[in-house]
Amino acid sequence: MSKIHVSTTVNGEAAEFLAEPQESLLDALRNTLNLTGSKEGCGSGDCGACSVIIDGRLVCSCLVLAVEAGGMAITTIEGIAEGEKLHPIQQKFLENAALQCGFCTPGFIVATKALLDVNPDPTETEIRYWLAGNLCRCTGYDKIVRAVQDAAAEMRGS
Amino acid sequence: MPSLNYVAPTTVSDAVKILAAASGPTRVMSGGTDLLVQLRSGRLKPELIVDTKKIPGIIGISGSAAEGFTIGAATSGALLSEHAGLVAAYPGVVEATNLIGSTQIQGRASLAGNLCNASPAADSVPAVIVVGGTVTIAGPAGPRTAPVESIVTGPGRTSLAKGEFIVSFHLPALKAKTADAYLRFIPRTEMDIAVVGCGVSVTLDDSGVITAAKISLGAVAPTQVMVDASCIIGTKLDDAALAKLDAAARAVCNPIDDKRGTIEFRTKVAGVLARRTAAIAVARAQARA
Amino acid sequence: MTFIGNKSDLRVVGTRPVRPDGVDKVTGRAVYGADAVLAGQIVGKVLRSPHAHARIVSIDTSKAMAIKGVRAVITAADLPNIPSEEAFVGEGPMNFRDLSLNCMARTKVLYEGHAVAAVAAMTDALADQALAAIDVKYEVLPHVIDVEEAMAPGAPILHDDLFTAGITPKPTTASNVAKKVRFTIGDVEAGFKAADVIIEQRYTTAPVHQAYIEPHACVAAWSADGQCTVIASSQGHFMIRSYCAKLLGIDVAAIRVVNAEIGGGFGGKTLVYLEPLALALSKKSGRPVKMVMTREEVFRATGPTSGAVVEVKIGATKDGKITAAQAVMKYQAGAFPGSPINPGLMCAFAMYDLANVDVLGYDVVSNRPKVAAYRAPGAPISSWAAECAIDDLALKLGMDPIDLRMKNAAKQGSKTVYGVTHGVIGYEEVLQAAKAHPHWSAPLGKNQGRGFATGFWFNIGGESTGAVFVNEDGTVNVVSGSPDIGGSRASMVMMAAEVLGISYNKCQAVIPDTSSVGFTHVTGGSRVTYATGMAVTQAAQAVVEDLKKRAAMIWDISPEAVEWKDGQAVPAGANAGGFDPLPLAAIALKAAKTGGPIGSEISVNAQGAGPGFGAHICDIEIDPETGHATIVRYTAVQDVGRAIHPSYVEGQIQGGAVQGIGWALNEEYVYNKKGLMDNAGFLDYRIPVASDLPMIEAVLVEVPNTRHPFGVRGVGEVPIVPPMAAVGNAIRGALDLRMFHLPMSPPRLRAAVDAAKMPKAAE
């Protein structure tokens, strides 16, 4: 089958590309649209490094076909900051040293945004269970959880 | 090398036509959270993927506890958890579906996918079985309804004929003093495939005695198995009844030794979960009118 | 070397600024190996053995070569057949012939996943087609995986030319035992005779993987004139350069390696897998070649650490004085020799001041991927056994586990079994801090237990280069030859800013490619903040000396009459002259007039790295019916020398502790009967997830290492040494039974609980 033409919206901007049926959305984002912020850690939906938000819903982009993206509104890590201005979540990750190698960080930031969009005042347990699909091997999660709590407080205006 | 085709029909009849006419290996796609993993690993090599998500009604929840619920086959676990009425009426079904994978997986994974992937360890299946769930199936011979437990015939195999696919799930009207629960055992706290899964639905009379019960175990046999619940009927789930239930659960286990658990462990834990899940279901039913 | 480390004098060191590369990493802009692009790059992939052990009978690549769009196919025939050559690199021995054979099998495949060929093609799909079209004929051989099975007579032999080293007379029969090694001090027999209590136990572990989230990735270009460029994620771009030069038989200067950001390594990226293959494919195809491993390849084909058997025997008198400690350790090396048996032997009892120690070890090959370093290689395994045994010793003696360790604590002047005498160390301070911590005396709930364990790691120094260049506007470039795997850019800048007396924000962190900065050894052995930090600090100090000279020129006074204070040149006392202070920026402006550009590049071979000690307290709750373990509370105390950036030091401790928790509870390689890995993915290779854990409290004790200008001790590896025993001892507390095998997963815990309930069989 020849490639399928896809028209979609990524980080608020119209995006068009051609995709093979078997290509994942992650592949299209990284290789076709050059948005390499979303990472492949496993290719099987077990690590969350490829997390994006589609129509308000947190998903693994490695488990979405690129050809499904038509008509979707997709948010990737590249769309979290507003131009030069970092999102509070990004700022708090930096201030709390919630990253070491940084590879899982885009996935965590996107997942955190999805959490705080629906639950602005999560408990520590709620944070940990929401983020259970994002693997980190460097930090042991402690400073990540603190960064999320800190960002949530900031965003509530506390 | 055979290449892969993708199509997203916008009506049920188009989907049936495509599936019926497909000459090579074909897979229906809902959330894709099992399908894409198996495509990637080479375990499945379809020539055609039929994505049902553009069919009106295939995503969505309607109904109520009084009427019963109709759930579109490709509805995600996340949507289930956001439907207050469904959560209140069938918490076990919603919990089971939202134990699958992670938040990301729950954003896409569906009841139909979980059922038709036909893993013995599927989390939602025991939960839907015990509440008497049925499915509406579209096919070349027209629509038909079937109980959920008739769909899975073995690991990776279903009773669906060529051209057929599931359009919706139905959970019956909730009877009085009836409640469901689901527990599973995994080594971590999230992300694992169930080592044992247990769904329970109980109905109580006004004095709290169990008058009806269904118990289904997952991951302890090639398909989901029903536990003989007669040992708890007519009881208030006292210790003696629980001990009998534990034994009854263990008796139907026929698990394998694999990287997730041993035969001995699965069997023992099946008994433990049967007790604990039944206790939760009974407590919930007691709180209901 | 001046010691600057007195805490009250420090202005920048010890604070917690945002790291220089932070914005790139939270916005997705940072370039990791798989993100790198060289114009015209094509896709490289590897064909891997489906067998655990087999002879390669033939490889027919003709059909693959014939596919349109396939630009190159290589096998071992395309790589030089290099002779055996030993080196000691990073944290372990390395034989370059073995490394070459590990990258590409020549006559035999020695593990499932062993590379046998590689292709470069225009697209992913074409590369997959090419792999499928390569016809390899194997003669499958019996395989062996378990370490004792590999040692047993009659075991399938991996290498016909491997004879056990360390045995006299030299054996003439090939063996899977690569070496036997022993360290002894004193007389353990006499020590055991004098003991009132003896603990003798056997512990076993399964192989585990470093499990970094980023799979290996690189892009490489071999141009027609023989100049090579490699962009790769690694723990050492100089290591990549050296190893590629060696494996491909080319000049070191012909290769330029650009450091991409690395998504975790923990020792597993201190060697090469893809880079030599990518270069060879690029040479053959005439195009840059990008190679990225899948997660499955990472598990099947890159070095996890050893599985092992450790037998310990410890004797003590009633008062708790350990009179003898003995151990026999057998470590898997994977397909080629080189398990971390030596550090395993050396570290197990290094926390204790003992007169009689005897540790004997075996390095054993078996049909698994070649073992790679994993954070304090060897020590977590031997400490698992030793610290569990010590805990049982405390129990038998009726002694508090911390008191028992204090009674036998290593201190300055204590002699280790491997011959080194401890200098200034912080083990006692760490024990005291643990004992005084509220966690130690907090109450426990039902089904809960508390475990305590300690650990040691040497830390190394070694070769590093750092540089400081002053720009004409007074901003400064701080150059490090070490990749930044966990926040070290921040520490380098902080040390330079401290010495220069300027703001952290006026310094720019730079990690140049291998052609642009002096040689720097691999990032390993917890050496970067120590050794590269030392180089950067010395470079900053050299710049300060130069700045003083320039000020002296400007003031026309003697350089001895100038001091450097708070980022400014000031006259040294009233007699020097009544000059206003000259800030760095003002001197920089006049650089051309006072002698030219101001900067310094310093290479060191840092000596004097000080060891680190850790003590962990773990509270665990076990569900006895299911064996499910929950870590309820965790405290990790460690002597860190001087924490340059405390947040990143805490982060190392928390991360290492959690890796150890995973190793203790759920991580293991599962093999089927054919010797193939059954759980090569993150679904069934179970690393801890966020909901598995509580907050990890990291307690920093600072006993400065005075051989470093800031008192730094390496911190990254110590924290993975105590956790398995801390968890095992907590389980013993909760269930009143001792687990002897890792991981202590739920089926094993439940089985142990059931076995303990059974009435003992009649003898």
> Residue C9 has what pLDDT?
82
- Check whether residue B99 and residue B161 sit in a common domain: yes
Give the nearest partner residue to A68 out of B37, B40, B51, using CB atoms: B51
When divided into structural domains, chain B yields a total of 3
When divided into structural domains, chain C yields a total of 1
Amino acid at C274: L
Give the β-pairing of B134-138 and C696-701.
unpaired
Instruction: Residue C479: give the domain boundaries.
Output: 463-605
Q: Which of B138, B171, B204 is the last residue of a domain?
A: B171
> Residue A98 has what pLDDT?
98
Question: Cα A111 vs. chain centroid, distance in angstroms?
Answer: 5
Coil, strand or helix at A157: coil
- Check whether residue B183 and residue B252 sit in a common domain: yes
Distance in angstroms (rounded) separating the CA atoms of residues A74 and A58: 10
- CA distance between the termini of chain C: 67
- CA distance, residue A21 to nearest chain B CA (Å): 6
> Residue C226 has what pLDDT?
96
Q: Which of C 704-763 lie inside 8 A of B, CB atoms?
A: 745-747, 750-751, 754
The mean pLDDT value for B58-63 works out to 98
Give the residue carrying structure tokens 């055991």.
C192
> Residue B192 has what pLDDT?
97
pTM above 0.95, yes or no: yes
> Residue C141 has what pLDDT?
98
Residue C648 falls inside a structural domain: no
> Residue C300 has what pLDDT?
97
Distance in angstroms (rounded) separating the CA atoms of residues B221 and B198: 12
Q: Which of B143, B171, B199 is the last residue of a domain?
A: B171
Instruction: Residue B257: give the domain boundaries.
Output: 178-286
Per-position DSSP letters for B202-250, written without gaps between them: EEE-TTS-EEEEEEEEESSSSS-EEE-GGGTTTS---HHHHHHHHHHHH
Contact B192 C686 (CB under 8 A): yes
- Residue A63: DSSP 8-state: G
Residue C257 falls inside a structural domain: no
Tokens at residue C182, please? 């022993």
Distance in angstroms (rounded) separating the CA atoms of residues B267 and B252: 9
ipTM reported for the complex, 2 dp: 0.98
Distance in angstroms (rounded) separating the CA atoms of residues B151 and B161: 11
Residue B56 falls inside a structural domain: no
Kindly state the helix (H) or strand (E) to which residue C544 belongs, with its residue range: helix C533-555
Fold category of A4-79 in CATH: Ubiquitin-like (UB roll) (3.10.20)
Distance in angstroms (rounded) separating the CA atoms of residues C227 and C225: 6
Amino acid at C521: H
List beta partners, residue A19.
A4
Amino acid at A48: G
- Check whether residue B45 and residue B131 sit in a common domain: no
> Residue C38 has what pLDDT?
97
Indicate the domain borders of chain A: 4-79, 88-156
User: Best of B7, B51, B103 to disrupt the A interface by mutation (most A CBs within 10 Å)?
Assistant: B103
Distance in angstroms (rounded) separating the CA atoms of residues C424 and C414: 10
Contact C26 A136 (CB under 8 A): no
- Check whether residue B154 and residue B254 sit in a common domain: no
Whether C684 and chain A come into contact, CB under 8 Å, resolves to no
Q: Which of B136, B151, B171 is the last residue of a domain?
A: B171
The answer to whether C188 and C177 are in contact (CB under 8 A) is no
Distance in angstroms (rounded) separating the CA atoms of residues C56 and C107: 5
Inter-axis angle of helices C379-397 and C723-735, nearest 10: 40
Whether B102 and chain A come into contact, CB under 8 Å, resolves to yes
Query: CA of B275: which chain C residue's CA is closest?
Result: C625
Whether B260 and chain C come into contact, CB under 8 Å, resolves to yes
How many Cβ atoms are within 10 Å of B147's Cβ, its own excluded? 12
Q: Which of A 82-141 lie inside 8 A of B, CB atoms?
A: 111, 114-115, 129-134
Identical fold, A4-79 and A88-156: no
With contact defined as 3+ CB pairs under 8 Å, the chains touching C are: A, B
- CA distance, residue B224 to nearest chain A CA (Å): 25
Q: Which residues of A touch C690 (CB under 8 A)?
A: 127-129, 131-132, 134, 136, 141, 144-145
Q: Which of C 156-215 lie inside 8 A of A, CB atoms?
A: 210-215
- Check whether residue B208 and residue B164 sit in a common domain: no
> Residue C560 has what pLDDT?
93
- CA distance, residue B24 to nearest chain A CA (Å): 14
> Residue C759 has what pLDDT?
76
Distance in angstroms (rounded) separating the CA atoms of residues C739 and C729: 9
List beta partners, residue C17.
none
Residue C41 falls inside a structural domain: no
Q: What is the CATH number of the domain that holds C486?
A: 3.30.365.10
Q: Which residues of B touch C296 (CB under 8 A)?
A: 41
**Which residue ranges in chain C fall short of pLDDT 50?**
763
Kindly state the helix (H) or strand (E) to which residue C638 belongs, with its residue range: strand C628-639
CA-based max dimension of chain C? 96
Contact B191 A133 (CB under 8 A): yes
Q: Which residues of C touch A37 (CB under 8 A)?
A: 27-29
Q: Please, what are the averages of pLDDT over each run of 10 residues along chain A (158 residues)?
A: 92 97 97 98 98 98 98 98 96 98 98 98 98 98 98 93
- CA distance, residue C659 to nearest chain B CA (Å): 14
pLDDT in tens, C709-742: 999 999 999 999 999 999 999 999 999 999 999 9
Kindly state the helix (H) or strand (E) to which residue C549 belongs, with its residue range: helix C533-555
Question: Cα A55 vs. chain centroid, distance in angstroms?
Answer: 13
Q: Could you say which of 3.40.50.720, 3.30.9.10, 1.20.1260.10, 1.10.150.120 is the CATH number of the domain covering A88-156?
A: 1.10.150.120
Q: What is the number of alpha carbons within 13 Å of residue B135 lying toward its C-beta?
A: 26
Which value, in Å, is the radius of gyration of the alpha carbons in chain A? 16
- CA distance, residue C138 to nearest chain B CA (Å): 22
How many Cβ atoms are within 10 Å of A125's Cβ, its own excluded? 10
Q: What is the CATH number of the domain that holds B279?
A: 3.30.390.50
